[in-house]
Amino acid sequence: MNTHHPFQELDMTKPVIGFIGLGLMGSNMVENLQKKGFEPMVMDLNKEAVAAVVARGATEAGSARELAAACDIVMLCLTTSVVVEKLVYAEDGILAGIKEGAVVVDFGTSIPASTRKIGADLAAKGAGMIDAALGRTPAHAKDGLLNIMVGGDKATFDKVQPVLAMQGENIFYLGALGAGHTTKLINNYIGMTTVTAMSQAFAVADRAGIDRQQLFDIMSTGPSSSPFMKFCKNYAVDGVSDLGFSIANANKDLGYFLAMVDNLGTRAPIAEGTSAHLQAAVDAGMGNGNVPEIFDYFLTLGK
């Protein structure tokens, strides 16, 4: 029995939402949707995270196929392109269950080429896709104040825009599918390169006998001053690790950035350097630490 109405006729302020990926960011995004009257269908391997959102009125899906078959918008907040592809293409995956007219929204940071491939396969089944990479923090997610960078067909974007507006304060429509992920990767390349370079500066200052606090006082009165420098100083000077983004995550994003650059037929030597340092820190067992903790890796470097 098929009772769902064509997607175009739905009240777009109240579509049925499915949400896969209840990490820190995803859980808070779901909580925000629940506060705004939605009762999403959810999935995650972490049963505690599932229980928390189910206690507030969500339902748990038995499979991605079941979730896709029941929902008008399928939201993904997952860690890697590999995980996204697994959920889309599995026998009981999203592609097997997706309804005509439904839209998949990928909030994660994925490889643009992978995003475009998935989008084409969804389009063949009459479904849409947008990539909607996120800026800001899980705290912003809980209040619906994220920055959202969106790529995709304009008509598909317009369909889901009312719901995105409940999740983000600033929504940037950037063009064709993959543009959101591309922009996010460029943004993260700059951010992580900045943190890596500044952490190295503090380590070199230490080796040279320059007071780290003084170095910060001098740099922060000039144009190098930035929120990222403050995060680096908080760790290198005060021992406070307060940038909630792991070295392992940064390493993944730089790897994706380099894969994207390779797909564009060019090279990014500065990113290669950042990537090599992040990879070395991961290899040294520091992957779970926040990115400014790479200072410790630079501190130990010999000739």
DSSP 36: T
- Cα separation, 144 vs 169, whole angstroms: 7
List 184, 230, 233, 252, catalytic entry: 184
Tokens of 186: 């460029």
Give me the amino acid identity at 42.
Answer: V
Per the CB < 8 A criterion, the answer to whether 16 and 71 are in contact is yes
Give every CB contact of residue 117 below 8 A, 6+ residues apart in sequence: none
| DSSP E strand stretches across the chain | 17-20, 41-43, 59-60, 73-76, 103-106, 128-135, 146-151, 168-173
**Contacts of 220 by beta carbon, 8 Å cutoff, 6+ apart:** 229, 230, 233
Q: Is 159 a catalytic residue?
A: no
Q: Based on the number of CB atoms within 10 Å of its own CB, is 227 exposed (0-12), middle (13-18) or buried (19 or more)?
A: exposed
State how far the alpha carbon of 87 is from the alpha carbons of 151, 192, 206, in Å.
20, 28, 47
Strand order in the sheet with 168-173: 59-60, 41-43, 17-20, 73-76, 103-106, 128-135, 146-151, 168-173
How far is the C-alpha of 193 from the C-alpha of 142, rounded, in Å?
28
- Distance CA(153)–CA(144), nearest Å, equals 23
Whole-number Å distance between alpha carbons of 16 and 38: 8
* Residues with a known catalytic role: 184
